[in-house]
Structure 1
Amino acid sequence: MTVTLITGANKGIGFETAKQLLALGHVVYVGARDAERGEKAAAALGARFVQLDVTEDDSVRDALATIGSAEGRLDVLVHNAGILAAGDVDGPAALRAFDTNAVSIVRVTEAALPLLRRSPNATVVTVSSSMGSFWAVTNPHRPEFGFPLPLYAASKAAATMLTVQYAKSEPGIKFNAVEPGATATDMTAAFGIGRSPEESARVVVRLATLGADGPTGTFQDETGPLNW
């Protein structure tokens, strides 16, 4: 059995990623900050629930301890939790955006590393965004060019860089970042754009199911590596 943890998995891309990985035979832990919503999502999926607030050290440690006690290892970690941070741009908003979208990657990865190192084919996928790509946001032919989302874009650039740096420091574990595509979720409802979470989840699942000889240290979308 492949043991998988997905953060922020009670809805949207995280929920659909859990659904697809369950269909492939994974043991999936739905990580969610809100226990009621997380338990409801896990029950609907036939997954396992673990309370996990990626912005709280104690919550993260407790969640990984729960998985470690039950499973003894972790094979796949999907960093999916995130916020759009589309409101006011100020210090508190910036701290919240970076804590949720970037610092949480450090917090959860560090807690998960002992379990990931026990896996014969450990894989970490960061759901990032081409909004964090310097190439995309400065290219007038790309849709990212027209979206001024400074805190989201900057925090996602940090998320991708953290992924690449972890790939260098942990050569026994595959780390890849993914642009899942514009997706119609609660987070993007104000923009009225995007395809179904089910479609975008397939991009995440592809990187979450890499073989032992799969790539690491990349930033990809459904077509392959992206400039950033």
Structure 2
Amino acid sequence: MTVTLITGANKGLGHETARRLTEAGHTVWIAARDPERGRRAAESLGARFVRLDVTAEHGPASAEAAAETVREAGGGLDVLVNNAGVIGSRKPVGATTGADMLATFDTNVFGAVRVTRAFLPLLAESPAAVVVNVGSGMGSVAATNDPGRVESTISALDYPSSKTALVMVTSQYARAYPRMRFNTVDPGHTATDLNGHSGTQTVREGAEAIVRMALIGPDGPTGGFFDRAGPAAW
């Protein structure tokens, strides 16, 4: 049985990914910081719930406690999906402060590192460990400079740069752990709470790339950046 943990999985892309992977036969852990919402989401899908806050408020302690809960449950961990994220300050580039940057990076980059580090020992025990980091086309230099892409019409500093950093974090994990599969995915412009449901894709469409990369085997790609169509320019 493949055991999967998804952060920020009580709604949106995380919840849809959990639903699809549960249908695919995975034992899914819904990781969320709100116990009530997390448990409700897990019950609706026939999944398990573990409380996990990826932010600096609890430092690494929350991730480590979640990893211990999963270990004590006896199922190990095969797939980790770092989905939890924030949109950032929404300020103009020139008005964005260092504190704004720090707050956004704290969830989108440092949070993924905290969770990955806590679960690495469990993933190392899996014969086919997979880590999927949920990025964005806004983190692609190629996409944000392509006049034909919606990403080129949006100007921001903290959110795009955090997603760019996440691609490099993923690449470096892939180099350091060649037996595991680490990849970043761009779900596309999806209608979620993160963007006020302004995206042009449904959550089902947006989850496709995440689910596909979560289902790869030990011979699958690693260190890459992917969208619904396949490898994406970074």
TM-score category (smaller protein): over 0.9
Distance in 2 between residues matched to 1:72 and 1:9, nearest whole Å = 19
2:63 aligned with 1:60: yes
The AA in structure 2 aligned to 1:28 is V
Determine the C-alpha separation between the residues in 2 that align with 1:34 and 1:206. Answer: 27
Q: How many residues get paired?
A: 227
Asked if the contact 2:180/2:218 (under 8 Å) is kept, the reply is no
Q: 2:82 aligns with which of 79, 83, 93?
A: 79
Q: How far did residue 72 of structure 1 move?
A: 4.8
Whether the 8 Å contact between 1:72 and 1:115 is mirrored in structure 2 is: no
Which sits farther off after the overlay, 216-225 or 86-95? 86-95
Aligned residue identity for 2:222? T
Query: 1:92 deviation in Å?
Result: 2.3
Equivalent residue number for residue 215 of structure 2? 209
- In structure 2, the residue matched to 1:106 is 113
Q: Could you tell me whether the CA contact under 8 Å between 2:3 and 2:75 is conserved in 1? A: no
1:69 to 68, 72, 76: 72
Q: How does 1:92-131 map to 2 (within 5 A)?
A: 92-131=99-138
* 4+ aligned runs moved over 3 Å, structure 1: none
SS at 1:29's partner residue? strand
Gaps of 5+ in 2: none
- The aligned runs of 1:188-199 (5 Å cut-off) are 188-189=195-196, 192-199=198-205
| 1:148-159 to 2 correspondences below 5 Å | 148-159=155-166
Q: Tell whether the 8 Å contact from 1:6 to 1:78 is kept in structure 2 after alignment.
A: yes
**1:227 is aligned to 2:230:** no
Aligned 1:5-84 pairs, distance under 5 A: 5-55=5-55, 56=58, 57-84=60-87
Query: C-alpha root-mean-square deviation of aligned residues, in Å?
Result: 1.1
- How many Å separate the matches in 1 of 2:15 and 2:148? 32
**Separation (CA, whole Å) in 1 of partners of 2:79 and 2:189:** 24
What are the within-5 Å matches in structure 2 for residues 138-157 of structure 1? 138-157=145-164
Q: Percent identity?
A: 51
State the one-letter code of the partner of 1:41. Answer: A
SS of residue in 1 equivalent to 2:5: strand
